[in-house]
Structure 1
Amino acid sequence: MVRIIISLLAISLSFHSYALTSVSASVDKNPVMINESLILTVTADDDIDRNALDTSALLTDFIVGRTSVNSQTSMVNFNTTRTTTWNTVLIPRQSGEIVIPRFEIDGVKTQAIKLNVLAADKSVTSTQQDLFITTQVSATELYVQQQITLTVKLHFAAELKRGSLTEPTLTGANILQIGKDKESENIINGKRYRIIERIYAISPQKSGDVILKSPIFSGEIMMPSTRRSNFLSFADTKPVSVIGDDIALTIKAIPAEITGAWLPSELLALHQEWQPEPSKFKVGEPITRTITLTAAGLSEEQLPEITMEVPQGLKVYPDQPELHTGLNNERLVSQKVINFAIVASQAGEYQLPEITIPWWNTVTNKAELAKIPGQKISVLPNTDIIPVTTQQPPSVNLENPTAPKVIEKIVIQSDNFLQWLFLGLWLLTLLAWFISAKRATRSVKTTKVSDPKVNNAYLALLAACKKNNGELALANLLPWAQSQSSNNELLTTLDSIHSHYKDTALSNAIIELQKSYYGKNPSQWSGNNLIDAIQNLNKQNNVKLVNTELSLNP
C-alpha cells in the first residue's frame, strides 16, 4: 500500500514539474516543385493548446492547407513524456528560395527553414511528382459574355484514399461544370498515371485583364509503413495538396457598334425543315416548319427567341422550344429547336418573311447576320374536304383534314329521327299554346319557348361534339355558322367565324380543336367546350327570335 502511494506521489510530482523546453520545425521534402505540396511539421515537447501555432505568416509565400494536431503522452519508469505535433500542408506560390519563418509557442521559438522551390518544368514535374494538375482553356482572348471551356486534368500515380477538387475561380464570371468527370490512364515519361478530367464552361461578365485561378486538390494518399507484424502489414496515409497553373485572360468589351442583342459566337447558323415538302401544301392540312438555331460558345440561356410572322389566311401555332447543349472539339455548342404548325384556310400563294438574327463573329471580329430567306409557298385546294349543308348553300373552304364521306349518311339518319321527334314536340307545343291562349285574357304571360330555331347543321355539330369527333366537328362548323347568320353574311373560313361572332368562348374552343389536330403532337379532343359555346350562342339567338314573335302577337 505504501509503495502505491509513493508511486502516485511520484507521478503527481512529475506532472507538475514537466514544462515546455523545445519546439522544432521540419519539412518532408526540400527542394520542392512549384505548385507541389509539402508538409510542415512543428513538434513541441509538452501538451500545448492546439491553437497555439499561428501560421498566418505563411500566407504571403504559400497556399496554406489544413492543419492536423496530434497530442501524445507516455510514461516509462515514472518518466512522463508529452508531445504536441502540428502538420500543415503548404503549396509554394512562386519559385526560388523561400524562408519559412520561426514560430514561437509559449516563449519558445523554432528554427527558420530555407526552402528551395524549383520552377515548373513539365518533364521534370511528371517524372518526380506522384500528383499534379494540368489546365487548358479554349481561348485566352475573348469578349464579355463569350463562353470558353477550361479542361482540368488531375494526374496521380499513388493510391488515393480520399480527396476533393475545388472549382476554378474568376471574379465576375459564371462558371459551370459541363457533364460528368471522365477517367482514363496514360503513361508519361515512363510512369503510369490515372487521370480524372473535368470540363468547365466560363463566361466572364466584366472586361479587363484577369487571372483565372486553377482548382486545388486536397486529399490523402496511401504510404507504405515501417510498422510490421508477423501476420499483418499496415499502411499509413499522407495528406497532399496540389494546384494547377493560373491562366491570364484578356476580356474585351462589347464593340460600340452593337446596339441590339449581344451574341458573341464562333459560329451561329439558322436551319429550317418542312414537313411535308413545300410543293404538297393543301388547304386545311397542317404544315410543320422546324427551325434550328445552332451557336458555338453560347449557353442555352443566351439563345434568343425565334418568332415567325405569317400573312393573313395562315394560322401559326408554335411549340415549346427544345434546348440542347454539348461539346464538339472541346467547344461548347448550344441548340434551340422549335416547331411551328401552319394551317392555311384558303388556297393561294403566300409570302413568308425572312427570319434574321444578328450576332458577333468572334473569329473575324465582325457583326454578321444569320437568316432564313423569305419564301413563297403555294397552297392547293383540298378536294377531299366535303362540306355538310342543309338547303344547298354555296360551296365553302373548310379548315379541317380530309372529312370521311360517311358524314352525310350519319347526318341524314339523325335528321329522319329528329324530324319526327320535333314534329311531335311541335304538335304538343301547339296544343299547349292553344289551351293557354284560350285561358289568357289579353296578354301573353308565357315567353319561354324551347329551341324554336333548331336546324340540321346545329344537330349534326352537336352530335360530332358529343362523339368527340374533331374531323366531323370541323366539317360542320361552317354550315352551322352559315345557318345561324341572320344577315345572309357569307361565312367561308374559320377566321370569318371568329370575326362574325366575336365570342371568346367559341374562339377558344375552335383554337383548342385546331391545336389538337394540327399541333406537333396531336392529342385526344373533347367536345365539351365547343358544345357549351354553340349551345350558348344558339340560346341567345332563340331568345331574340321569341321576343320578336311575341311582340307581333295582338
Structure 2
Amino acid sequence: MKTFITLLAIVLSNALFTSNALAASQISATIDKNPVVVNESFILKITIDDDVDTNALNTSALLQDFIVGRTSVSSQTSMVNFKTTRTTTWSTLLIGKKAGNFIIPALTVAGIKSQAINVQVLAENDPLANKQQDIFITTEVSAKEVYVQQQLTLVVKLHFAAELKRGSLTEPTLEGASITQIGKDKEEDTVINGQRYRVIERTYAISPKNSGEFILKSPIFSGEILVPSTRRNNMFSFSETKPVSVIGDEIPLLVRPIPETFQGTWLPSDLLAIHQNWQPDIAKFKVGEPITRTITLTAAGLSQEQLPILEITVPKGLKVYPDQAQLHTGMSSGHLVSQKVRNFAIVASKPGEYQLPEVSIPWWNTVTNRYQVATIAAQKITVLPNSELETATTVVSNNQNKDLAPAKTVIITQSSWLQWLFLALWLLTSLAWFISVKLAKPSQAKTPKNETPNNNAYLSLLAACKKNQGLAVLTLISPWINILQTKAGKKITATLDEALLEINSDEFQQEINYLQQCYYGKEQKDWQGDSLIKLIQVVNKQGLKESKATVLSLNPT
C-alpha cells in the first residue's frame, strides 16, 4: 500500500512539473492606450504564464525614449479540473519625453521575449491630443530672463477630467534657487474643446541665487484615477483604480549677474516705492504729545525677506520709538508684491522747528535695467508749545519753591568791641548747651545724612510712581532733579533729556524709554512704577556730584 501511494505522489508531481514547464512558454506585452501625449503617462503590461521572480523584468531598455515610473507586480494562481494556471504581471508607468513615433523594445523574462510595440507620442498642441488627455499639467512663468535674487512666479495648473482617487504634486526644481509656495491651492471648473475639466492651481515664488543658464523642471503629479471595471454581472458594475502620472514642460531660464556698477544693497524689482503718512495731522505737533510717522515700502518681484530694514533719524530735541515692522505678501496681476510697514512714534521735548532728514532706498529697475533711488524728501516740522504741560510744570515748580527757605541777605559791617562781646557770650552759651546734651540720654534718632525733608517734588514723584501715573512721572522728573542740582551747586536743567543726562544711569534711561513706549507707542500698554521707584530712591540718596566751579573758599580777614 505504501509503495502504491509513493508511486502515485511521484506521478502527480511529475505531471504538475510537466504542466508548469509547458505553461511557461507564453509572454505578452500591451499598453492601455495608443497614441499617447507628451508628458502624460500610459501603462505597459508584461504578462507571463508562470510564477516567476518579481525582479525578473528589466526595464532599463525603455529609458532611452521614455520616463520610467513605478512598476507594480501581481501574481495569480487558479485551478480548474485539477489543472493549475499561474500568471505574473508587471505594470510599468511610462511617460513619453517628446513627440514622435517610438518602439517599445522586446523585453525578456525567464528567457522568453515579448513582442515589440509601436507607440505614437503626440505633441501637446496636436489636435488629436485633446481627445486623448484625461489629465495634464500646464505651467506659466512670469519671466524667462531674470537677475540674481529677482523673484519670478510659476503658476502650475493640474487639469483632470477623470475622478481622482488619490494623488500628490511634487514641487518644481531649479538648481541653486529657493522655491516657496504662495498662498493656498485654488480650484475651479473649466471646459476645453467641449470636455469639462477640474483644475487645481498652485503658485510658486522662485528666487535664483546664481547666475547662468538653467532648466526649471515642472512638478510631477502621481496618483490614481477611477476607471470602469471589465468585471460586470447583471446586477452590479464595479470601478477600478488606475495609476497615472503627468509632468509639466521644462522651462529654460537665463539668470543675469548683479551689474558691476551697482552699489549698495541689491534689490532687483519691477517697481519699488516708498511713502509716508502722519497721524494725527503734523500741523498739530505739540511738546510731549506723540505723533506717529508711518513709512510703507512696496516692491514687486521681491520677497518680504528681501526688503531692507526701515530706520529713521531725528535731530536733537526729538525722540523716536519704532514699532515692529509688519510684512505682507500677495499676488497682483500675476506678479509677487511684498510690503513692509513700520510705525515710528515721535515725541518732542521742547518747541521749535526741526529738520527731518530724507529716507532713501536704492534699487535696480529690472524693467528699464537702471539704477534708481526711492526717496522720501527731507521735511521740516514745527513743534508747538504745550500749554497743559507748561501749566503742570509751573505748579510743580511753585510747590518746590515753597519748600525752599527764602534766602536772607546778611550785611557785615565793620567790627566793634560790642560784637566781640556778644560773640563770646554766645559761644559760652552754646558750649554749656552742648555739654548738657552730651550728658543727657539721647531721646531722638539722628536724621539721615541724605534725607531731604519737605521735598514735595521728590514725594510727588514717588506718589505718581506708586499710582502708575506715567505721564505725571515724566513731568515731575525734571523738577526733582532741579532740587538735586541746586544742592550740588549745578546749573538747573530745563528738559527731561537734560535731566536724564545728569542722572547718567543706563538702567534709569531704559526704564524711562519703556515708560514712554507704553504711552507713546502704537500699542499702548499699562505701565507699572515699582521698578522706577527703586531707581529714584537710589539717585535721591546718592545725590548729584558737586560742581567744582561753584565751591567757594572763604579766607579770614
Q: Which amino acid aligns with 1:507?
A: Q
Asked if residue 185 in structure 1 is aligned to residue 186 in structure 2, the reply is no
- Whole-angstrom distance in 2 between the partners of 1:100 and 1:165: 27
Aligned sequence identity (%):
57
Question: Partners in 2 of 1:534 and 1:362 — Cα distance?
Answer: 57
Q: TM-score, normalised by structure 2?
A: 0.85
Opposite residue 477 of structure 1, the aligned amino acid is I
Which residue of the other structure, out of 392, 395, 405, is the alignment partner of 1:387? 392
Structure 1: which amino acid aligns with 2:525?
S
Residues 73 and 476 of structure 1, relative CA distance in 2, 3 Å threshold: same
Of 326-335 and 120-129, deviating more is 120-129
Q: TM-score, structure 1 length as denominator?
A: 0.86
1:54 paired residue number: 58
1:147 aligns with 2:151: yes
Deviation of 1:228 after TM superposition, in Å, equals 2.0
Shift of 1:439: 6.2
Does residue 216 of structure 2 align to residue 215 of structure 1? Answer: no
Secondary structure of the 2:387 match is coil
1:41 partner SS: strand
Superposed CA deviations along residues 63-118 of structure 1, whole A, max 9, x for unmatched, are 11111100011111222111110000100111212222222222222222222222
**Of 530, 533, 537, which aligns to 2:532?**
530
Partner of 1:397: none
> How big is each residue's C-alpha offset from its partner over 1:139-181, in whole Å with a ceiling of 9 and x where there is no partner?
1111111111111111111111111111111111111111111
Map 1:64-143 → 2, pairs under 5 A: 64-121=68-125, 123-143=127-147
Give the aligned partner of residue 157 of structure 1.
161
Contact (CA 8 Å) 1:11, 1:78: kept in 2 or not? no
Q: 1:548 corresponds to which residue?
A: none
Matched, 1:198 2:202: yes
SS of residue matched to 2:150? coil
Q: Alpha carbons of 1:364 and 1:532: their partners in 2 closer, same or farther (altered >3 Å)?
A: same
What is the deviation of 1:268? 0.3
Cα 1:255–1:390 shift into 2, 3 Å: closer
Opposite residue 493 of structure 2, the aligned amino acid is L
Residue 306 to residue 391, structure 1, CA distance change in 2 (3 Å): closer
**Residues 177-326 of structure 1: matches in 2 within 5 Å?**
177-326=181-330
Match of 1:12 in 2: 13
**C-alpha spacing 1:389/1:77, structure 2 compared with 1 (3 Å):** same
Taking the aligned partners of 2:276 and 2:146, their CA distance within structure 1 comes to: 30
Cα deviation, residue 57, structure 1? 2.4
- Asked if structure 2 preserves the Cα contact closer than 8 Å seen for 1:126 and 1:132, the reply is no
- Does structure 1 retain, via aligned residues, the 8 Å contact 2:27–2:46? yes
- Provide the residue aligned with 1:510 in structure 2: 512
User: How far 1:448 sits from its partner (Å)?
Assistant: 4.9
Structure 1 position 332, deviation (Å): 0.5
The question of whether the paired residues in 1 share the 8 Å contact of 2:36 and 2:132 is answered with no
Name the CA distance, whole Å, in 2 between partners of 1:117 and 1:458.
92
Shift of residue 446 of structure 1?
A: 7.3
Q: Please say if 1:370 is aligned against 2:374.
A: yes
Instruction: Tell me which residue corresponds to 2:463.
Output: 463
The residue aligned with 2:37 is 33
Q: Could you say if the C-alpha distance between residues 391 and 112 of structure 1 is closer, same or farther in structure 2, counting changes exceeding 3 Å?
A: closer
Residues 435/384 of structure 1: CA separation in 2 closer, same or farther (3 Å cut) = farther
Query: How far apart, CA to CA, are the structure 2 residues paired with 1:308 and 1:207?
Result: 34
> In the TM superposition, what is the alpha-carbon distance from 1:542 to its structure 2 partner?
10
Cα distance change, pair 434–132 in 1 and its aligned pair in 2 (3 A): farther
Aligned-CA RMSD value: 2.7
Deviations 1:355-396 (A, max 9, x none): 000001111111111010000000000011123568956xxx
The residue matched to 1:520 in structure 2 has which SS? Answer: coil
Deviates most, 302-311 or 225-234: 225-234
Please say if 1:541 is aligned against 2:543.
Answer: yes
Partner of 1:384, secondary structure, is: helix
Per-residue Cα deviation, 1:435-470 (whole angstroms, up to 9, x for no partner) = 9843699xxx97955724550100000111001111
1:119 positional shift: 2.2
| Structure 1, unpaired ranges of 5+ | 394-407, 416-432, 545-554
**Higher alpha-carbon deviation: 336-345 or 166-175:** 166-175
Q: Does the residue aligned with 2:51 lie in a helix, a strand or coil?
A: coil
> Matches of 1:364 and 1:388 in 2, distance apart?
58
Q: CA deviation at 1:60?
A: 2.5
Q: Given that residues 299 and 339 in structure 2 are in contact (C-alpha distance below 8 angstroms), is that contact kept between their aligned partners in structure 1?
A: yes
One-letter amino acid matched to 1:79: K
- Cα deviation, residue 479, structure 1: 1.0
State whether structure 2 residue 485 is matched by structure 1 residue 481.
Answer: no
Kept after mapping to 1: 8 A contact 2:167/2:224? yes
Structure 1 residue 11: Cα displacement:
5.3
- Partner amino acid for 1:158? A
8 Å CA contact 1:95, 1:118 repeated in 2 = yes
Q: Distance between the aligned counterparts of 2:545 and 2:363, measured in 1?
A: 60
Partner residue in 1 for 2:352: 348
- 1:515 CA drift (Å): 1.0
Q: What letter matches 1:13 in structure 2?
A: N
Change (3 A) 1:352 1:392: closer
Paired position in structure 2 for 1:336:
340
1:37 offset after TM fit, Å? 1.2
